[in-house]
Amino acid sequence: MAELKIGVSGCGGRMGRMVALELLETKGTRLAGGIDAADSPYLGRDLGEMAGVGALGLKAGSDALALFRVADAVIDFSWPAASVGHAKIAAATGKALVIGTTGLDAAQESALKQAARKAPILWAPNMSVGVNLLLELVREAAAQLGPEYDIEILEMHHRYKVDAPSGTALALGRAAAAGRDVDLGKKRAGVRDGATGPRKAGDIGFAVLRGGDEVGLHKVLFAGAGETIELSHRATSRRVFARGAVRAAQWLARKKPGLYAMADVLAKR
């Protein structure tokens, strides 16, 4: 069986480098190339050197269309506007696209759905197998524990993360809301500061911490009278996200056009 050629978007970033390394060490996959922003200081750098394995003769570029043309699938850890642009290229070329970018707004999410009519696209706020299991546990706990249990979601990431709450925290909020059969948009409670008054019944609260080099910590607390149930996940290495992204790309490359989630990948084990 021929190797699956997979490209990396955002190849100069920490996740992009990790994905490149994972591809190089995964049987049956080949690193097809990498792209970064047009003003990136990494343009022209060797992808192998950036991944820490030595020169490969593959240089970081900025031509997304060229990358899609030579790849069977592309893994994208960039920024929202770029991810949407890549989704449009995926639609034009019919190539598979795995997106791990977070912070997309409603219009950008709609653009992904539109592009997925013509190409297989997988978008997941978190590629970790453990986090995706946590989503299911949170949904079930929210369904089993009545409204007398207050739901609070806490997340912490490194100082450089630009969006808050994290995409994973929001996904956990959606899972909790689904378990309660409510709309997260109507129940979401953000930053509390000053004389906020008593907690509103049924709210799903979010707390955000930033600092150091924390890879990713997420906790969901169900606080009742006399007891608190806590479900949590802590990533100690970005390699778990890269591993999940490569697995998703291998799965997605064989699929028909559509918008998929990491749960679809895990359901086919």
Contact 12, 229 (CB under 8 A): no
Give CA–CA dist 102/100, Å, rounded.
6
Task: Tell me the residue type at 164.
Answer: A
The count of C-alpha atoms lying within 13 angstroms of the C-alpha of 36, restricted to the half-sphere facing its C-beta, is 20
Which one of the listed residues 95, 157, 187, 218 is annotated catalytic? 157
Which one of the listed residues 59, 88, 161, 255 is annotated catalytic? 161
Task: Tell me the residue type at 126.
Answer: N
Give CA–CA dist 53/238, Å, rounded.
17
Integer Rg of the chain from CA: 19
Q: In what order do the strands lie in the sheet with 96-99?
A: 29-35, 4-9, 73-76, 96-99, 120-123, 258-260
Give CA–CA dist 47/218, Å, rounded.
31
Active site annotation includes 161? yes
Residue count of the chain: 269
Give CA–CA dist 82/12, Å, rounded.
14
Nearest to 165 by CA among 121, 220, 231, 241: 220
Active site annotation includes 88? no
Catalytic residue IDs: 157, 161
